[in-house]
Structure 1
Amino acid sequence: MISEPELEGEETAVPAPRTSGGGGTVPAAGFGRPDPGPGPGSGAGTGPDFEDGTYETIDAEDPPGAPPRRRPWVWALGGAVVASAVWAGGLYAYHRPGPDLRGYGISRNLCLAAELPALTDRIGRRTENMAGADETLAVDRAVCRVTLMPGRPDKADEGTPPTTYANVRIDYIRHKETDPAPEFEATLADLTPSGDGKPTVEGVTDLGDHAYLVSETPGFNMRLSVLDGQAEFAIDVSLGTFSTVNPVTGTTDDSDPSETINISDIEGELISDMTDLMAALKE
């Protein structure tokens, strides 16, 4: 049987979609794509409008209705700001201004700075100079011990040493971290195991921030303590005696040093030598 030939240009009929009982549209047999919905320009639906050649695109990272996400460069900028603030704070802490030392420096040989001209002229020649120093991050300390012998070398009796002498101790402390003022007055007097004896304390004006003359055993010792800013000074004078043996009796004779050397009125000499010492320790 010979079929009739297909006419050129004749369109092939496409089966129309069937309507389901629920009112929906069912694709025709052989077509698996869903109904694309109303066409362009129909005014219905939310499809893109292709007629004017423009259309809207949606970023896959930010679905419609989701809050915008912060971009990575925003976090990087915030981190840089925080790091800069921490660095600046550390730099300030490292270079923070310290206490005002008022120009006082450390002396590695305090005996050279403490010439003591007034005390030497009053008591006697200077012998046995011993000095020491210690430097730390918080405190610098220096000490000098000097012995003053009565009489001048050219007037001393040959072969007859003096029976009394004066011990002089000079202390210098430079506080570089803490303020020593609250504790200065509380530690003027030396602490003894028994706690007996009340020292004599007298204030001195026009010398540093605070200055006191302290005598724990009047006639036998006197100390001048001064606080100037962060620097603490002290010159302490105490009497001593040499013990001599009587060649006849073999007994030891101890003389009273206060009968030979009078330090009950050396306030002027202490103040003068302290003023010179403080000036010598200025850098």
Structure 2
Amino acid sequence: MISEPELVGGGGFPDPVAPPLPHPPPAPAGQDTAAPRARRPWLWALGGAVVASAVWAGGLYAYERGQDGGPDLGGYRTDRDPCQVAKAEGLAAAFGPKGVSPDEPLKVDHPALFQWSCSVTLASKPIMYTLHISYDLHRVTDPGPEFLAVREDPQLLGGGERISGIGEVAYFGGYEENSLTVLDGQAVLSMSLQPTDDFDEDTNQPIEVPELDPAAMQTYLVEDMRQLMTALRS
């Protein structure tokens, strides 16, 4: 979830010199002559700023907290294999039905971060494609700033076209063509379609990979990603 940027303040100017205070009149007989200690202005100002910041932050993030005090995970679960629950009906209609996984899935279950990445084949001919799926669930920190940093800085191999209509923020394409990456609260999900092999072992010749229509690919990926997000929350 994307949070508001912090307000950075503080000038570089010295405090003005205060004029000397007049001596207090003598206290009446029998009264304590010790004057009360004055509170330093910067102390109460700092305390007020801290309290105000805490109240502001509490009000801003109250709706994001879960019942256990951690971030609200939005119903996303960690007991579902993304490649099994992803129907990929849009891509399967264009590139052939889902097949077996060509690689072993990678699963990391850490108190701060859950990750699951896997892939399935789509049995199209003459080119077979592989659909790669990754699912990250951030259990402690807000993934929003890092997500935007990667996507908005070409040096971080992100890029792509920002699109609307799915998740909180979504990008199509970029460093990986024919891909969709979505930020949805504490979850970051991605789908990318790549040729499984561009070399024909029977003829010992390279296979010409056809150029895919970006508009059609975006439609397929958004449709299939929306179904996957629902499956991971049910």
TM range (shorter): 0.5 to 0.7
The match for 2:40 is none
The structure in which a higher percent of residues are strand is 1
Given that residues 241 and 256 in structure 1 are in contact (C-alpha distance below 8 angstroms), is that contact kept between their aligned partners in structure 2?
A: no
Could you tell me how far apart the structure 1 residues matched to 2:219 and 2:90 are?
8
Is 1:213 equivalent to 2:176 in the alignment? Answer: no
Is 1:139 equivalent to 2:113 in the alignment? Answer: yes
The match for 2:131 is 168
Is 1:244 equivalent to 2:196 in the alignment? Answer: no
Matched AA of 1:224: L
Could you tell me how far apart the structure 1 residues matched to 2:205 and 2:167 are?
43
Q: How many residues in Structure 1 have an aligned counterpart in Structure 2? A: 165
1:93-112 aligned within 5 A: 97-112=69-84
Could you tell me how far apart the structure 2 residues matched to 1:181 and 1:199 are?
14
User: In 2 relative to 1, CA 107–116 (structure 1 residues): closer, same or farther, beyond 3 Å?
Assistant: farther
Could you tell me how far apart the structure 2 residues matched to 1:200 and 1:233 are?
16
Point out which structure has higher relative CO (alpha carbons under 8 A, 6+ apart). Answer: 2
Q: CA deviation at 1:97?
A: 1.0
1:1-283 aligned within 5 A: 97-129=69-101, 130-150=104-124, 162-188=125-151, 201-216=160-175, 221-244=177-200, 252-258=204-210, 262-265=212-215, 266-283=217-234
Matched AA of 1:184: F
User: In 2 relative to 1, CA 245–102 (structure 1 residues): closer, same or farther, beyond 3 Å?
Assistant: closer
Note the alpha carbon deviations across 1:215-258, whole angstroms, 9 max, x for none: 336xxx311010111011100111243423576xxxx3102112
Could you tell me how far apart the structure 1 residues matched to 2:201 and 2:190 are?
35
Q: Percent identity?
A: 28
Give the 3-state SS of the residue equivalent to 2:111 in structure 1: coil
> Cα RMSD over matched residues?
2.7
Give the 3-state SS of the residue equivalent to 1:146 in structure 2: strand
Given that residues 166 and 226 in structure 2 are in contact (C-alpha distance below 8 angstroms), is that contact kept between their aligned partners in structure 1?
A: yes
Given that residues 164 and 242 in structure 1 are in contact (C-alpha distance below 8 angstroms), is that contact kept between their aligned partners in structure 2?
A: yes
Give the 3-state SS of the residue equivalent to 2:105 in structure 1: strand
Q: What TM-score comes out, normalization by structure 1 length?
A: 0.52
The structure with the largest alpha-carbon Rg is 1
The 4+ residue runs of structure 1 with deviation greater than 3 A are 188-191
Give the 3-state SS of the residue equivalent to 2:148 in structure 1: helix
Unaligned 5+ segments in structure 1 are: 1-94, 151-161
Unaligned 5+ segments in structure 2 are: 1-66
Matched AA of 2:143: P
Given that residues 125 and 149 in structure 1 are in contact (C-alpha distance below 8 angstroms), is that contact kept between their aligned partners in structure 2?
A: yes
Given that residues 209 and 226 in structure 1 are in contact (C-alpha distance below 8 angstroms), is that contact kept between their aligned partners in structure 2?
A: yes
Q: What TM-score comes out, normalization by structure 2 length?
A: 0.62
Q: CA deviation at 1:165?
A: 1.7
User: In 2 relative to 1, CA 246–115 (structure 1 residues): closer, same or farther, beyond 3 Å?
Assistant: closer
The structure in which a higher percent of residues are helix is 2
Give the 3-state SS of the residue equivalent to 1:147 in structure 2: strand
Note the alpha carbon deviations across 1:50-95, whole angstroms, 9 max, x for none: xxxxxxxxxxxxxxxxxxxxxxxxxxxxxxxxxxxxxxxxxxxxx9
Matched AA of 2:184: D
